Amino acid sequence: MILPRDRDPRFITVRRGGYLTDTDHRLLGLWAADCAEHVLHFFEAVKPSDLRPRRAIEQIRTWARGEIKMMECRAAGGHAMAAARDLNGAARFAAYAAGQAAVVAHVAAHELGAAAYAIKAVKASVDKSEMDEMGQKECHWQRERLPTDIRELVLDDQRLRNHLCWFVFDC
């Protein structure tokens, strides 16, 4: 479970009584898409003909441009996560990262799920002796791509929810 019991109002849109602007919500989705896409090759190496995770990443970007409704994007996220069911390791985590990215359109706080699963995918792809180092490299890669407008929000969210996300943000 990567979501906190009590929802952080910084991740609830203004129109729903929170503090998150539509612009920042879109930025969270785009950043989550970048995190998921960075590890998508782990899934595609195992299931090259299954386009559900790639489609989920495309859908969150399409949603961020205002070209599709949230429900369509959320559905794509569910399909991407379903693609993970019969897999394990890096491929499974990569599919989950794509699914989490797409559902940011529905619940912005899933941005951390996309990032955490991407880190787990990288760690699962290497020898045990390299897991920590490679996980930290992926975490740094993600942080380098954080848009300035949401950087502090995401970093604070990582600090607050790191324990829910397998401590992958200790970088």
The mean per-residue pLDDT over the stretch 128-138 comes to 98
The tokens of 103 are what? Answer: 């559902």
Domain annotation covers residue 1: no
What is the pLDDT at residue 2? 82
DSSP character at residue 131: H
Domain annotation covers residue 156: yes
Residue percentage of the chain with pLDDT more than 70: 99
The domain in which residue 60 lies consists of 9-165
Domain annotation covers residue 170: no
Q: Enumerate long-range contacts of 63-66, CB under 8 Å, 24 or more apart.
A: 63/26, 63/29, 63/105, 64/26, 64/27, 64/29, 64/30, 64/33
Domain annotation covers residue 3: no
What is the pLDDT at residue 129? 98
Tell me how far apart the alpha carbons of residues 76 and 55 are, in angstroms, rounded to a whole number: 7
Domain annotation covers residue 2: no
Domain total for the chain?
A: 1
What is the pLDDT at residue 145? 98
Domain annotation covers residue 171: no
The mean per-residue pLDDT over the stretch 25-40 comes to 98
Domain annotation covers residue 29: yes
Average pLDDT, the chain: 97
DSSP H or E stretch at residue 141 = helix 131-144
